[in-house]
Structure formats: C-alpha cells, structure tokens
Amino acid sequence: MATENEAQGPNASDYIKHHLVHFNSSGHKQEKLVDFHIINYDTVFYSASVGLIAVLLMAIAARKATSGVPGRFQSMVEMLFEMVADQAKSLIHSRESRKFVAPLGLTVFMWILFMNAMDFLPVDLLPRIWSDLVGPVFGIDPHHAYQRVVPTADLNGTLGMSIGVLLVTLYYNVKIKGLGGFAHELIAAPFGDKWFLAPFNFALTMIEFLAKTVSHGMRLFGNMFAGELIFMLIALLGAAWTGPNAGSIALWLAGVVAGSAWAIFHIMVILLQAFIFMMLTLVYVGQAHEGH
Amino acid sequence: MNLNATLVAQIVVFFVLAWFTMKFVWPPLEKALDERAKKIADGLAAADKAKTDLTLAEKRVGEELKKARESAADVRGGAEKQATSIVEEARAEAARIVAAARAAAEVEAAAVVQRAKEDLRGQVAELAVAGAERILRREIDAKAHADLLSNLKQELS
C-alpha cells in the first residue's frame, strides 16, 4: 500500500516487472519454468524469519503460561491454541497423531498469517531499503537489486508447505495402514478391489494426491500473489506524480483511498487463507487416517 | 511463478518450525490449559461440596437448636415444679410453726390464767376472811368457824 515514488523509471510495466523478480542465486530473472540450480534468497529469508518470529512469540507465551489467571497475550495465544486443538480433535481421531499434527496446524496457521502480513508493509519499503541501502554494501547494482517480501506470493513457498503436508499425509497413511495396507489401498480404491480396476484406481489416487497438493499450494499463492499485485498497481497511482498539479493530487488521493480499502479487505484475506490452509492440512492428515 | 530449489528449503523450514512448535510451544500450553481446567473443575466441585456441607450444617444447627429449646423447657418445667414444691413445703412448715406457737401460747396463757385465778381466789378468800374478821372480830372465833371458812373457800373456787 505504498505511495512512494519509484525511481526505477516512470514506466508502469517496468515497475511491476521489477517487483516480480526474486532476489535469487542467479542474480537475474529465472528463465526456465523449473530450475533447481536457483534458490530465491528473499523467500527463504523472509519465510524463515517470520516463521521464527511466529514460533518464538508462541514459545514465549508457552514458557510463561501458567494455570492461573492468564494475561492478555497469554489469552490470545491460548485462544489460537484452543481453536487449532478443537479443529484437530474433530478432524483427527487418533490422540497419538494429534501430538504432532495439532502443533503442525498451529505452526502453519501462525506462520502463514505472519508471511501473508508482510503484504501490509509498503510495497516499496523493503525493496528500496535493499536496492538503495543494503544491496550496495554487498556490491549489488541497484537497478538489478530485486526483492520480494511476501514468501506466500512465491509459488515455491506455498508449494513447499503443501508438499510438506503431502509428506505428512503419506507418513500417516503408511503408519496407520502399514506399507502393505497403503499399497493395497492405492490400487483398490476408489473403484473397487478388482484386478482389472487396479490401474485406474492407482491413476486416480495419484491424481487425487497431486490435485490436493497443487490446489493446496496454489490457492494460497494465487490469493497472495493477486493481493501483492493489486498493492503494486495501487502504488502506481502515487508513482504517477508529476508535480503539484490537480491530476497528480487526484491520483495520489485515489491511491490513498484504494490502498487503505484494499489493505483493510486484505486483513480478512490473509486470515482466511491462513485458516483455510491450516484446515486443509488437518483435513488431509485426517483423511490419511481413514480407509477408503 | 517459477519453481526452484526454494521449494526444498521451504519444506525443510516447514518441518523445523513444526518440530519446534511440537517441542516447545504445544506441550506447555496444553499443560497450562489442562491444569487450569482441572483447577476450575476442582473449584466447582469444592463449591458444590461446600454448599451441601452448609445445608447439612444448617440442618444440624436447626436440630441442635430444637433440642436445646426442648431441654431448656424441661429444665424450666422442673425448676418451676421444684420451686412450687419448695414454696409449698415452706408454707406447710410455716403453718405448722404458727400452729405450734399458737398452741404453746394458748397453753401458757391458760396456765397463766389458771394461776392468776388461783392467786385471785386465794387473795379473795383471804380478803373475805380478813374483811369478815374485821367485821366480826369479836363474834367470830377463827377456830370455831374454820369449817365454815373452808366451805366458803371451796365454793369460791
């Protein structure tokens, strides 16, 4: 929701393009669709940092937690705890599994909430600090100093988490049903346990896992990417400043109004997306506990 | 939307954070909340018990009060009876004393009267003899008339 000027150039297209390039190990925009030689430093840094802040905040609350009268901070963390614990209890019936999956749900919710909340920083704030102040220290050309601060607006970030959830569901599938049981289920469901249906069963189960994982990650990514893009477009209204004339002032005011409106709406979006991601995590793990 | 090694890094971060929460966040919170729930449950149970105890105690107090009142009434009844009997006895005793005193007084008075009468009689006889002596000094011979005088004395008694 920034209305700062962009020194990069008056070209709106360039501004958006510049903002959509990650600070990665190649130093320029990734050309290939999939390239595992490249890593996005910014996504890893911001996701790990806010993740650490999130869990440390909760750890502080947990450390001070007493069974006596709770303070406000403790109450807030306890409310989150209860929310996740209740959902986990209703979706996962194994008490043993909940010992890991419920904390996982809480982590995912808080982590995604914090990563999404990076959207509320002015879109140019951290990128400009990077390109003008910090980047040059490391000898990075300001014109090619890229920085994207919302880890959930990077498909790698969200798919990474959804693949993590997939691994957890696979683990519990094997743990609950046994390796043989799980393998049998792969070829026996959903059409029926007939030898000639096995290939179709297997294909459909694979599609199911793939669809679950991709939609899980894509849903969050799409929402956050779109949100970030709209913040950039709103920022362009302010970037169109050409001097203290009527047109510039009108655009700037429009930027302020639109930026505020979108930011307020976005509060709901980031909460909702974090909650949905957490719920789906619990649902998928819960499904791993049930046979077809 | 390009995929690269960030994906792997994100998976690692995902599990590290989940492990951290499972290890250091969830258990203490769970413990605190469970303990609080237990504390509240215990408190409610204690309150219930206290209420029952209070009802029982009130009942017992009522019974004790009733008993005490009854025994007090008994004591009062007994005391009144005793007091009445004491008063009765005292009254009887007093009546007896009064009667005895009266009888003694009457006896004494009768004796005194008797004595006085006898004295009086003697004196009257003497006075009569003396008077008669004086009047009849010469004519009456005391020895000759002794029977007469003694008869007179007898008649006067």
To the nearest whole angstrom, how far is the Cα of B48 from the nearest Cα of chain A? 21
Give residues 63 to 122 of A whose Cβ lies within 8 Å of B.
63, 65-68, 70, 77-78, 81-82, 85, 99-100, 102-104, 106-108, 111
Q: Do A62 and B29 touch (CB under 8 A)?
A: yes
Whether residue B6 and residue A160 make contact (CB cut-off 8 A), yes or no, is yes
Predicted pLDDT at A102: 94
Query: In the predicted model, what is the mean pLDDT of chain A?
Result: 88
Q: Do B36 and A221 touch (CB under 8 A)?
A: no
Q: How far apart are the first and last CA of chain A?
A: 47
Residue B50 has pLDDT above 80, yes or no: yes
Residue B136 in contact with partner chain A when CB distance is under 8 A: no
What would the mean pLDDT of B24-29 be, rounded to a whole number? Answer: 92
**pTM of the model as a whole:** 0.76
**A262-269 mean pLDDT:** 94
- In chain A, alpha helices (H): 12-19, 41-64, 72-91, 95-117, 125-128, 155-188, 198-239, 246-288
- pLDDT tens string B70-129: 999 999 999 999 999 999 999 999 999 999 999 999 999 999 999 988 888 888 888 888
Nearest to A106 among B2, B10, B21 (CB): B21
Q: ipTM of this model?
A: 0.87
Whether the per-residue pLDDT at B138 is higher than 70: the answer is no
pLDDT of residue A2: 42
What is the average per-residue pLDDT within A30-40? Answer: 88
List residues bridging with A24 in a β-sheet.
A40
Query: How many other C-beta atoms lie within 10 A of the C-beta of residue A175?
Result: 15
Task: Give residue A14's pLDDT.
Answer: 84
Phi, psi of A175 (to 5 degrees): -65, -40
- Which residues in chain A touch residue B27, judged by CB atoms under 8 angstroms apart? 62
- Contact yes or no for A160 and B36 at CB 8 A: no
What percent of chain A has a predicted confidence (pLDDT) above 90?
54
| pLDDT of amino acid A9 | 47
Q: A7 vs A71, which has greater pLDDT?
A: A71
